[in-house]
Amino acid sequence: MEPVLIGEILAALMFAGVIGALLLGFPVAFSLAGISLFFALAGYWLGVFSPSNFGSLAPRYVGFMTNEVLVAVPLFIFMGVMLEKSGIAEQLLKTMGKVFGHMPGGLGISVIVVGALLAASTGVVGATVVTMGLISLPAMLQARYDPKLACGVICASGTLGQIIPPSTVMIFMGDMLAGINAQVQMAKGNFSPAPVSVGDLFAGSVLPSLVLIALYLAFMVYKAIVNPASCPATPPTRLERTTLIKDVLVSMMPPLLLVIAVLGSILGGIATPTEAASVGAVGASLLVLIKRKLTFAMLRQTCISTATITSMVFVLLIGAAVFSIVFRMLGGDDLVHDMLAHLPGGAMGALIVVMLVMFVLGFILDTFELIFIIIPITAPALLNMGVDPIWLGVLVGVNLQTSFMTPPFGFSLIYLRGVAPGSVSTGDMYRGALPFVGLQLVAIGLVLAFPALATWLPRMIYA
């Protein structure tokens, strides 16, 4: 058997082995690295892999640690955790409930609006879902909302942090796609390719985010018209009416100012994502200080949470680096490229297949696991076929939303299950999430059909 064919067979078996290990419950980072090393050893025995191929591994590790773009990750995580502990989310939810509660579906609309604001100011999905589950779910159940609808809207709104900037997933994707695009363009003889940055992906995700929010709001309006009994109104008291304007200003101004400071500086070209993340971290700390909730114990817990989340993500990144090197050296890149190139429909057909694979894998994998496995495998082939890297990154970002909502391992469902009362069954949560998964698929279809949704704003800003 030819060495090239042996290598491609090993690459395919390695990918299947990683998925199998994850299904058995083994830790993702160690599964990626461990199984990759096993197949590298098998390739060495069969004469299709050389240990010298690992020579690029140490420089890549050092590159992760010295990459200025990735410094933004712990800073944005710190900002999100700090805001989550500040009580801003609780104040926002209560105020928006007063604003929209007088109309059918009003509480659901409030949750969507607050979810969007929290996503743009924190980006921490777990904290957002838990906070809204603790505050909004009891209020919605007390107002006689359909439990399925209440759970669905809370989970869907909480996942907006994956696509609305500043999203930590987008930071990693921007860094990965920038490197892959540079390699692809240089292989084609273009030695000065147009750079792809995190700012491009942030700008590209703005319009799809608004489309997704509009779909959620439209669904709530539809439910209020067709089945108002599933989302009845909760008229405010006279006291709530008199203090409403003040409450809205007090609760909305801090997160809005933070969003303007962070996203405005990035999209306006004033600051890099890392510099903006620093502004966000300091701004979140000042907001907590102004609210007189900043204590040493809170700061310590925030730093521990930030370090824990950051460490988890970067260990995944290191495991993914080992997987990527072994997969490529075994000829997996050529195998994937040939497979995608021979699909009907050309680049669009290949892109649709990749989106379908990501959607299916989202049932069992987390968002970071998905991008660290799928992007290094498929992006080189797709970019080589002419797919715009910004369009690809935004499509993946919208697709990642679904992984939080699809049972059995949808993390939004798991987070909400942990704080929901016993009267709400897990089945209610699953059934409530399905319509919003459908809306997310509609959003993916719209971005696929109209690439300008992802590419127009970056070109206008960074032209």
Return the structure tokens found at 161: 């942090």
Whether the pLDDT of residue 252 is over 80: the answer is no
Helix axis angle for 367-384 and 389-403, nearest 10°, is 150
What is the C-alpha end-to-end distance of the chain, expressed in Å? 51
Give the separation between CA 386 and CA 392, rounded to whole angstroms: 11
Which segments within 105-246 are labelled E, that is strand? none
Contact between 114 and 129 under an 8 Å Cβ cutoff? The reply is no
Give the separation between CA 403 and CA 367, rounded to whole angstroms: 7
Region for residue 120 given its phi and psi (left: phi exceeds 0; alpha: psi -120 to 50; beta: otherwise): alpha
Give the separation between CA 115 and CA 98, rounded to whole angstroms: 16
Summarised one tens digit per residue, pLDDT across range 205-224 is 999 999 999 999 999 999 98
DSSP 143: T
Peptide bond before residue 166 is cis, with ω within 30 degrees of 0: yes
Whether the pLDDT of residue 258 is over 90: the answer is no
Contact between 385 and 353 under an 8 Å Cβ cutoff? The reply is no
Mean pLDDT of the region 233-250 = 63
In one letter, which amino acid is 69?
V
Quick one: which of 23, 125, 12 has its CA closest to 360?
Answer: 23
Return the structure tokens found at 316: 């995944």
Give the separation between CA 132 and CA 89, rounded to whole angstroms: 8
Mean pLDDT of the region 287-292 = 82
DSSP 269: T
Whether the pLDDT of residue 232 is over 90: the answer is no
The length of the chain in residues reads 463
pTM of the predicted model, to two decimals?
0.83
Secondary structure (H, E, C), 199-239: HHHHHHCHHHHHHHHHHHHHHHHHHHHHCHHHCCCCCCCHH
Mean pLDDT of the region 259-283 = 81
Whether the pLDDT of residue 463 is over 70: the answer is no
Quick one: which of 289, 272, 276 has its CA closest to 75?
Answer: 276
**According to the per-residue pLDDT averaged within each range, which of 6-15, 269-278, 410-419, 449-458 is highest?**
449-458
Range of lowest pLDDT (121-130, 138-147, 177-186, 406-415): 121-130
Quick one: which of 74, 335, 64 has its CA closest to 179?
Answer: 64
Give the separation between CA 209 and CA 170, rounded to whole angstroms: 13
Give the separation between CA 40 and CA 14, rounded to whole angstroms: 9
Sign of the CA dihedral 423, 425, 431, 437? positive
Residue 225: is it exposed, middle or buried by C-beta count within 10 angstroms (0-12/13-18/19+)? exposed
CA Rg, the chain, in Å? 23
Summarised one tens digit per residue, pLDDT across range 58-68 is 777 777 777 77
Give the separation between CA 322 and CA 325, rounded to whole angstroms: 5
**According to the per-residue pLDDT averaged within each range, which of 149-153, 265-269, 419-423 is highest?**
149-153
Per-residue confidence (pLDDT) for residue 239, from 0 to 100:
47
Quick one: which of 140, 172, 171 has its CA closest to 155?
Answer: 140
Summarised one tens digit per residue, pLDDT across range 316-372 is 888 888 888 888 888 887 788 788 888 888 889 999 999 998 888 887 777 777 888
> Helix (H, G, I), strand (E, B), or coil: what is residue 435?
helix
In one letter, which amino acid is 372?
F
Contact between 38 and 52 under an 8 Å Cβ cutoff? The reply is no
Contact between 115 and 212 under an 8 Å Cβ cutoff? The reply is no
Per-residue confidence (pLDDT) for residue 436, from 0 to 100:
93
Mean pLDDT of the region 424-431 = 84
Contact between 39 and 13 under an 8 Å Cβ cutoff? The reply is yes
In one letter, which amino acid is 161?
G
Per-residue confidence (pLDDT) for residue 447, from 0 to 100:
94
Summarised one tens digit per residue, pLDDT across range 132-142 is 777 778 878 88
Give the separation between CA 84 and CA 92, rounded to whole angstroms: 12
> Helix (H, G, I), strand (E, B), or coil: what is residue 385?
coil
Per-residue confidence (pLDDT) for residue 386, from 0 to 100:
87
Per-residue confidence (pLDDT) for residue 442, from 0 to 100:
94
